Structure 1
């Protein structure tokens, strides 16, 4: 067997993608010289666990540190240099310029292949006072320790979190675990901007239930000691401020080296090579193809970063690999709720110029007759004519992760809404139902595309629509009395066949029930009796849970 040429593999960045590349390279070749340079004091740590360490759900901060430089040397024969910054790349001579943090002296390190895995840096909004000593980010272990030190040395009662994305919500929950009073300042109309507002509304309810103060459509104008002043003049109390308003790809080193940079990150091909074939880039600093959007985007998630690092090492050693792009799956725990998304929301799809269809179902996470079942709201978007899956959002107490993972896998496989009908998913009463929520979304969506039902969404109901159409609530009288859509008449579905003569065939009928199923039955009865009828997607629950207060009447039983 011919001997291999000893390669010098140099990696810049020692967290997810970088260490995945380093260890994979060693497994593929025992002879290469592999060096990792990390600007910070830690490598191979779980930064996704930082909010939970802050709230002491993870008791010991050191549990986040998965490996040390010494351990990498002992197990993998990889030289890991912490507190060491790479400040320049000489592409012509295949060297990097390196210096120890806190010093000015640089030295050169040669490479045959260079992998950049520098991640993303927290976005610091241009707010007056953003550099005050009580303002922190929460991305790294040093960030965590700074916040913990501040909390230990100061009497902190109020915390303002600027940014209502996943990291912000995780921080909020864990700050509440510490007994602190917490406010969220979010410039968008709802928390977690990538999801749709009807999916976000239950999060707002859950946050308020846990005494979190929400400031939505709010812009922080300046930060002062003890407060954050909003653009409208309102003062949010804040002994400590966390900036978690998103991240930006670290591209300066690549840019200065003359590598191609896209709109939001470093440009790479399917082998994770940059515009220089001897330089690779992975993780939060790169743009990769979003399979729904159809163009490159930065995806700041640990899963893709780890897979990209492994793939870059495979490509260096001539493995036949190709990165397949992303669909962008994310999940977050918010007190007793879990929210997740894969692909794109309806709002994002419309912003791209698409005209998607979508359905909403509210099935239980497992068989309803087995104790402890909880409903999941599952909203699935698909192409109008082909049924190709475009995105899914889910929220509930349990079982959300399982369904969003199935749907993410289906999207990666290029499946359609019709395929969801046929998925064979594990079923036993404690774990699921014979018709899983994913199957249910497939049944409903397929019915829409086949023309077996026509639906209308809560967002499409306006005053004119309510006044002109006949609204038929097919729930029980008791359900109707606890709240209903204005102008609706109550005709329970079991009595509908006997009541069709009381309805006007010259006017459109909107039928609805609690979650959609009885409304579908009513639709089929009325359609086959010659009525112009539509069913309310997701039922009355979609109206109440989604925050459509104008479409609700007060309960008659209160």
Structure 2
């Protein structure tokens, strides 16, 4: 072996680690690269595992294949990529002064020392498994690796009931996967909503409705206390709110960064619990880098350290590390917490700060809820989406967004990611020259419509309340007029309890029926007509009038349906 060659050892052979090694080899054909992976498989796409369990593809090996169908195993990386991969090999400890990593072959038990010039820690994460009775029963499992997916798939073939613990991304994807296999699914979430760190309650409530519509027994605000079993196999889950039969249990309450190796080596651990790194992803030891789910990132908007484990971030981390090993002085700017998930017929996406997040960092956020069809309504297949924008009142800079609906949300959230990254204002977003044709969007794209509505709110032209604020009025003591300005046919089909119908086309002729001494809150399906009603009423001298953002589509609470006896406006 040529001792003059630089030796790079990578611990972790999934997303970040394999990106480091592959990019490094392309940049430097001479460097000696060794990848150590504790698991039996490397370079797999873990995010696809719930879809395998759902049955969308049959061969589990597809999660570690190239687009051409070649399995990415040790032989592939040695022959095609030109570096050494050792699966089923555990990293035991790091001797930093000597620059030696001690490893153990898990199949033979043999140990050896690997010398390095540069060490990369891409040790990933580990699922959180609470210390509760029954956690070790057969049939109770987390989902992280292909082996986990194979085990859960085997369980799903005979299971009739399943309990999923946790309402995060994996929990939601597994709820759909198992429900579509004909299994009765109960989803238990300790908090009062799913995706609590990602969505505001009103947007999450739209997802709650979708889960329940598809037969998921959604149990919010319940903590798991114990798991019961018979003859060593799970049979029931006990929570603070009930008891639920379970032939299988999926633990999906989150993950923690795997930092044992780093901590034992004396490396700095950051405030998030992940490995502390600088902008170039170097640890407190300049010869050691950290990347992927074991490392911290920086929030682009607040500058604070955050831990958001995602495969997309891991791959970007890996590229930055490889570049810096080769002296290219690359930095990783940070993240916005962007994510997207499919929940039955809903698409759910978010990026940036929520309204609460913005307040916590000292900003003055203004929000706007705007539903729209995802393409021209006359084009077949148009579906609604609900966009929630968050902007800073003083600077008008976009701070964040959440989008939920059966329509196309991904291109809108990605456009907003670009806007946030570049510091765009709501006025600039409203002027974006977005592509238009009826199969793809309306002439005023939903994103443009939402931005303009938020501009109206910031400028005092649009005066609005969000659904939560309206619900507070309905539950409070104030006597106000909740004015539905849709058509009688729409009202007969579905309506909000406590609302009064007065179609927009009749509003100007029936102004005398409305009280001038009470608040009037107007709305419609999308609240475009609600906004029109606000402007008409203000023009007629009504000074206590606003519209409800989101309309029927954005209303996360109870709806009534079916014919009504009378749909006439009341002027009480």
Considering the TM-score relative to the shorter chain, is it more than 0.5?
yes
Instruction: Check whether the contact 2:202–2:467 (CA below 8 A) recurs between aligned residues.
Output: no
SS in 2 for 1:267: coil
Q: 2:258 aligns with which of 242, 250, 274?
A: 250
Q: Matched residues in 1 for 2:441 and 2:452: separation?
A: 16
8 Å Cα contact 2:164/2:249 also seen in 1: yes
Aligned to 1:120: 125
How is 1:498-513 mapped onto 2 (pairs within 5 angstroms)?
A: 498-513=509-524
The residue that corresponds to 1:497 in the other structure is: 508
Determine the C-alpha separation between the residues in 2 that align with 1:33 and 1:302: 26
Which residue of structure 2 lines up, in the alignment, with residue 174 of structure 1?
177
Which of 471, 476, 482 pairs up with 1:471? 482
2:268 and 2:276 in contact (8 A); partners too: yes
Q: Report what 1:411 is aligned to.
A: 420
In structure 2, what is the equivalent of residue 516 of structure 1? 527
Give the distance between the partners of 1:514 and 1:223, measured in 2 at CA. 44
Per-residue deviation, residues 138-179 of structure 1 (Å, max 9, x unmatched): 110111122234456xx4221111112111111121122322
Structure 1 position 394, deviation (Å): 1.3
**TM-score, normalized by length of structure 2?**
0.91
Residue of structure 2 in register with 1:65 after alignment:
64
- Using the TM superposition, name which of 98-107 and 6-15 deviates more: 98-107
Offset of 1:352 from its aligned partner? 5.1
In 2, the alpha carbon distance for the partners of 1:526 and 1:187 equals 44
Distance 2:225 2:476 in 1: 41
Q: Within the alignment, does 1:164 sit opposite 2:167 as a pair? A: yes
Contact kept, 8 Å, 1:218 with 1:230, in 2: the verdict is no
- The Cα RMSD (Å) is 2.2
Q: 1:383 pairs with 365, 368, 392, which one?
A: 392
| Aligned match for 1:189, one of 178, 188, 192 | 192
Distance 1:181 1:463 in 2: 35
Q: Which region of structure 1 is more displaced relative to structure 2, 228-237 or 242-251?
A: 228-237
Name the SS of the counterpart of 2:296 in structure 1.
strand
Contact 1:466/1:487, CA 8 A, preserved across alignment: no
> Residue in 2 aligned with 1:224?
228
3-state SS of the aligned residue for 1:310? helix
Deviating more after overlay: 392-401 vs 502-511? 502-511
**Secondary structure, aligned partner of 1:93:** coil
After the TM superposition, which segments of 4 or more aligned residues of structure 1 sit over 6 Å from their partners? none
Distance 1:504 1:371 in 2: 42
Q: Which runs of 5+ in 2 are unaligned?
A: 66-71, 566-572
1:294 matches 2:303: yes
Aligned equivalents of 1:162 and 1:465: distance in 2? 35
Q: Where do residues 257-276 of structure 1 align in structure 2 (5 Å cutoff)?
A: 257-264=265-272, 265-276=274-285
- Secondary structure of the structure 1 residue equivalent to 2:29: coil
2:262 and 2:212 mapped to 1: Cα distance?
Answer: 44
- Residue 88 of structure 2 aligns with which residue? 83
The CA deviation at 1:508 is 3.4
TM-score (normalised: structure 1): 0.93
Change (3 A) 1:349 1:237: farther
Tell me the CA shift for residue 505 of structure 1: 4.0
Alpha carbons of structure 1 residues 102 and 348: separation in structure 2 relative to 1, 3 Å:
farther
Picking from 94, 100, 106, the partner of 2:99 is 94
Q: Which moved more, 1:527-536 or 1:234-243?
A: 527-536
* Structure 1: unaligned runs, 5 residues or longer: none
**1:407 alignment partner, SS class:** helix
